[in-house]
Amino acid sequence: MFFPSVRMRRLRNCRAIRALVRETVLTPDDFVQPLFICPGKNVKQQIESMPGIFRMSVDLAVVECLKIRSAGIKSVILFGIPEKKDETGEVGCRDDGIIQQAIRSIKKEIPDIYIITDVCNCEYTIHGHCGPLVNGVVDNDKTIQLLGRQALSHAKAGVDMVAPSDMMDGRVGYIRNILDRDGYHDIPIMSYAVKYASSFYGPFREAAQSAPGIGDRKGYQMDYSNSREGIREAFLDIEEGADIIMVKPAMSYLDIVLKIKENSDVPVAAYNVSGEYSMVKAANEKGWIDGQKVMMEILTSIKRAGADIIISYHSVDAVSLLAKGWY
């Protein structure tokens, strides 16, 4: 049956019918808000390339988490900027490290907020790479040992979930074994399983002060030309014990989100990264786009592609619009 009997516009001609047949709807439960934690007290530093996003000391991060929780967002992911960095990233494993302090402080004040931590070394190394260098190359096996120690220190501090983002081979299995050995069987692992070597990370590297001092990360992060390799990465991590698979970035990789969603039976997360966020903010400031409408369109597309979890710097803004009846 075709036109004129079939008229697709019948289901679009008013807001009520559009709402009845809408296939994808964002909810506050979809979102995770990233936070950058820095040393000191009463510190709130604007990140120039990410309008509205700040580095915050632990005390102000607690206040921010109260606001996030009251907005209806149940989960945050923490990134740490230590007072001092080292050659290997071992500073990130310390029980008194910046993230470990933040976990304890936030949980003390807001026990029901769900804390995820980024587990990586790039924020903690002098050279900005994701692990110790041997002859100028990140040593995979030495790195995963540090990641295991870092994840365990987060677990001891009270984290709810760990998220290794380094793209070292074998790190999910190593972390799972370390956590299980020490009795942390119930802490899930959200693996940055499909993390591309992307230019969209630029503002994040300013925020986390983690830009590589030498070379780049193409030797361990994925080539953005590849799709099948991403599926293989995801399934290897699932075999090693990953509970959730993440694709990063989101917007240019929605085909990968869809493929993993259709071919696996674990939840899929997508990271709407800093460059994606900053482009919207910059174009909105110029008056070239309606930032709110573009933001919601992007976030809906991420969920429509199959993401169960959306990590986004837009999270608080998006949930605020939902509370006002966006749809």
Q: Which residues are known catalytic residues?
A: 195, 248
DSSP H helices in 241-273? 254-263
- Domain 24-323, CATH: 3.20.20.70
Question: Domain residue spans in the chain?
Answer: 24-323
From 9, 12, 47, 53, select the one nearest 35 (Cα to Cα).
53
* Model confidence, pTM: 0.95
Read off the pLDDT band of 131 (50, 70, 90): confident
What SS3 class is residue 17?
helix
Structure tokens at 11: 């289901």
- Write down the pLDDT at residue 114: 98
Structure tokens at 239: 């075999």
For the stretch 48-98, pLDDT in tens is 999 999 999 999 999 999 999 999 999 999 999 998 998 888 899 999 999
The predicted model gives 188-197 an average pLDDT of: 96
What b/e sequence results for 264-295 when a residue is b if at least 16 CB atoms lie within 10 Å of its CB, and e otherwise? bebbbbbbbbbbbbbbbbeebeeeebebbeeb
For the stretch 151-183, pLDDT in tens is 999 999 999 999 999 999 999 999 999 999 999
- Write down the pLDDT at residue 132: 80
For the stretch 262-273, pLDDT in tens is 999 999 999 999
- State the chain's mean pLDDT as an integer: 94
Strands 268-272 and 244-248: parallel
For the stretch 207-217, pLDDT in tens is 666 666 566 77
Contact partners, residue 84, CB within 8 Å, separation at least 6: 91
